[in-house]
Amino acid sequence: MAPKGAPIPARLAPLIQAFYLERDGVRLRVLRAAKPSVPARGTVIISPGRTEFVEKYFETAEEFINRRFTVIVIDHRGQGLSSRLLDDPLKSYIRRFQDYADDLGFIIDELGANLPKPHILLAHSMGGCIALQSVISGTSKPAAVICSAPMLGLYDLDTPIIRWVLCGLSILGMSKRNLPFQGQQRGLPVAFKNNKLTSDITRFTRWEAYFTQISALRVAGPTLGWIKAALESMRFVNRNAVQVKTPTLIVAAGGDPIVDPASNRNFAEKSGAEFKIIPGALHELFLEQDIYRDQFYAAVDNFLDKNAL
């Protein structure tokens, strides 16, 4: 998919394949990117954040292809061009986060013979919570995990009163209702000056064009059911942090207005993961200015070298 039919980046176009895998009636879109002429150092498997889609990770894929990795990116169920789960395709809904985690393990298993080892999970935001739940629950067994601003604590949401209200509303059959008072309307991004994701206007504009020009990729704000499932998943992952024995790097965005960086630090301390915070960066480290992205990739390279990956 490309806004206004723009071509895929020329350097990347000959290196990628997109296809579907089906699990329990749900079609999952997958992107594979690799240089066939270069012996692979391993495979980086990308678990995106909420509302995201494989094309958002073109630049990231190039970063890791240049580091001699094969790259896999998935559209989580309910977003991108994977199967939508409700009659209204814009509603962001999931029954439980373990469904995401099981999808991740399924894709790795299905493609295993074509994915050079070691396997490294690279995850952002919601995708970080999914990746860690997948490791803890045993549905995936990567050699390492790298998380960018993993969703382990959301500002103003993970409180006893919110949990009680969401549980009550779910019992009343309202889990598929939209969370009220959301700035993002019907899947269209807010203006750059109001966005909480990045301070890089060029990358923001490139990302924004997909949603404004390709309606099939749009996902609106979260439903009450998604929020309930997210809070349950965050509690599960944080409660079981000590079970993560896989080498893990947690990178927090110091200026993140969505995910509390303290939740990332707390998880790293409990799990023994390596922790890095990038002061001033907003939530989307992959879309941030180079001054922040360069710090992220320096931490990644150091982590990979330290673990002989």
Report pLDDT for 174.
60
Give 47's contacts (C-beta < 8 A, 6+ positions apart): 74, 76, 104, 121, 122, 123, 124, 127, 128, 130, 131
Give percent of the chain above pLDDT 70. 90
The count of domains in the chain is 1
Report pLDDT for 110.
96
Scanning the structure block, which residue is given the tokens 């390492």?
144
CA distance 298 to 300: 5
Strands 119-124 vs 70-74: parallel, antiparallel or unpaired: unpaired
Parent domain of 163: 3-306
* Mean pLDDT comparison of 21-25, 161-165, 223-227, highest-scoring range: 21-25
Predicted confidence (pLDDT) at residue 156 exceeds the cutoff of 90: no
Q: Work out the average pLDDT over 51-72.
A: 97
Q: Work out the average pLDDT over 209-238.
A: 93
Predicted confidence (pLDDT) at residue 184 exceeds the cutoff of 60: no
Q: Work out the average pLDDT over 106-116.
A: 94
Strands 16-23 vs 43-47: parallel, antiparallel or unpaired: unpaired
Mean pLDDT, the chain, integer:
92
Predicted confidence (pLDDT) at residue 193 exceeds the cutoff of 70: yes
Q: Work out the average pLDDT over 135-142.
A: 97
Q: Are 39 and 68 in contact (CB under 8 A)?
A: yes
Confidence of residue 166 (pLDDT cuts 50, 70, 90): low
Report pLDDT for 4.
83
Confidence of residue 163 (pLDDT cuts 50, 70, 90): low
Report pLDDT for 162.
65
* CATH assignment at residue 45: 3.40.50.1820
Confidence of residue 95 (pLDDT cuts 50, 70, 90): very high
Predicted confidence (pLDDT) at residue 175 exceeds the cutoff of 70: no
pTM for the predicted model, two decimal places: 0.94
Q: Work out the average pLDDT over 66-80.
A: 97
Predicted confidence (pLDDT) at residue 285 exceeds the cutoff of 70: yes
> Nearest-CA neighbor of 284 among 120, 139, 151?
151
Report pLDDT for 187.
85
Confidence of residue 58 (pLDDT cuts 50, 70, 90): very high
Radius of gyration from C-alpha coordinates of the chain: 18
